[in-house]
Amino acid sequence: MAYYRQVGNVPPKRHTQHRRSDGGLYYEELMGEEGFASDSSLLYHRYIPSAISDAQPWQLPDQTLTANHPLKPRHLRLHELFGDVDSMAWKSVDPVTGRRMVLGNDDVRISYVVAGETSPLYRNAVGDECVYVESGSGTVETVFGALPVRQGDYVILPRATTHRWLPDADEPLRAYVIEANSHIIPARRYLSRFGQLLEHAPFCERDLHGPAEPLLHDGTDVDVLVKHRGPGGITGTRYVYPKHPFDVVGWDGCMYPYTFNIADFEPITGRVHQPPPAHQVFEGHNFVICNFVPRKVDYHPQAIPVPYYHSNVDSDEVMFYCGGDYEARKGSGIGPGSISLHPGGHSHGPQPGAYERSVGVEFFDELAVMVDTFRPLQLGEGGIAAEDDGYAWTWAAGEPT
């Protein structure tokens, strides 16, 4: 994210003395990608950021993955994973340890959570996280500062950013979590060679919102949960810090957490149907993130606005439906809170009758987040628990009307 920001108190020259009012030194920390060869930020701490007083194993939520075999398209009803909202069970769930794995592979893992409790301090040392806030609001406190979050926000959290989630108390926070084994950046074709978002991009730097001021907390013997690489895959460790890690008085650079609201995405439309890359927002290693927003649709006089049938030769396609009406999916059982998984090797497209009904339609009122992966996805325990077993047969369930 090559968009420079400066927050709080930093010295005029990097890697030089930065002193407190009593004459003592602040401790400079470089957080950088790709071994000093890519984007970075410099943070200035009141205390030594490396100091830990204890380390113990942390048992992660269930990370088990099961192959999509026999190969089928899948429909997963995520709103069923956390029970009835009126039961208030979500109030005791937090947005980190309460996540349930839905889909995953060696490049990306997708989880879902409905939460109302403040999370522990947490750091993902495996890869960046992109968290889509389906509904609810709150604050994400980070070592860089605080980010207010609301419905429709993507929250981008760079690898190894210590943070915690504080949902607002009056309603559950529903979060769709995309965890990478890499960094997550805006689509490369929207970026200049220097990293600026270009004129043809569907959003710009004005739409990205980073921390505005330092966030300073006091405290001792503070626990931080760390997800990291370990023997046989991904594991967890619980650190104890003698001083609170939110002790940064200032920072500057091009790597930091930020939010981008889906309402600020300006859809790219055309006379005939636009392919999914026209809707892309972000990308990571071996996957892309797109979104489908309310928009004027194809305006050629002979246009068919819903997608044509297509085969995913190189990718698995995951669509999370989070608002509006889904013209192409009518008759399938899919609605808000649903995921559809259309795997590589399966041809898919509109439900029976949708192709014909779309002729003459001028506007789609739909909201969805799509993840395309370039290696096969497997089912997590949450995906298995939320599956609609009849979805694969819905294209054969009736004749077009």
Across the range 172-190, mean pLDDT stands at 97
Q: How confident is the model at residue 337 (pLDDT cuts 50, 70, 90)?
A: very high
pLDDT, residue 4, reads: 95
* pLDDT surpasses 80 at 2: no
CA–CA distance, 380 with 63 (Å, rounded to integer): 7
Q: How confident is the model at residue 401 (pLDDT cuts 50, 70, 90)?
A: very low
* pLDDT surpasses 90 at 209: yes
1 vs 379, higher pLDDT: 379
Pair type for strands 222-230 and 121-124: parallel
CA–CA distance, 103 with 120 (Å, rounded to integer): 24
pLDDT, residue 87, reads: 80
pLDDT, residue 81, reads: 94
Residue of 137, 132, 171, 159 whose CA lies nearest to 282: 132
> Which tens digit of pLDDT belongs to each residue from 92-117?
999 999 999 999 999 999 999 999 99
The pair of three-digit structure tokens given for residue 270, joined into one six-digit string = 């055309």
Residue 253 dihedral angles phi and psi, to the nearest 5°: 145, -165
CA–CA distance, 127 with 124 (Å, rounded to integer): 6
Q: Whole-number mean pLDDT of the chain?
A: 94
* pLDDT surpasses 60 at 399: no
Residue of 259, 96, 217, 216 whose CA lies nearest to 165: 96
pLDDT, residue 182, reads: 96
Q: What is the dihedral of CA 183, 128, 208, 11, to 10 degrees?
A: -90
CA–CA distance, 57 with 349 (Å, rounded to integer): 45
* pLDDT surpasses 50 at 247: yes
> Which tens digit of pLDDT belongs to each residue from 248-267?
999 999 999 999 999 999 99
* pLDDT surpasses 60 at 170: yes
The total of other beta-carbon atoms located within 10 Å of residue 347's CB is 12
pLDDT, residue 35, reads: 87
Task: Please give the C-alpha separations between residue 336 and each of 152, 266, 326, 353, in angstroms, as whole numbers.
Answer: 14, 22, 9, 20
* pLDDT surpasses 60 at 20: yes
Task: Please state, for a pLDDT cut of 70, what percent of the chain lies above it.
Answer: 98
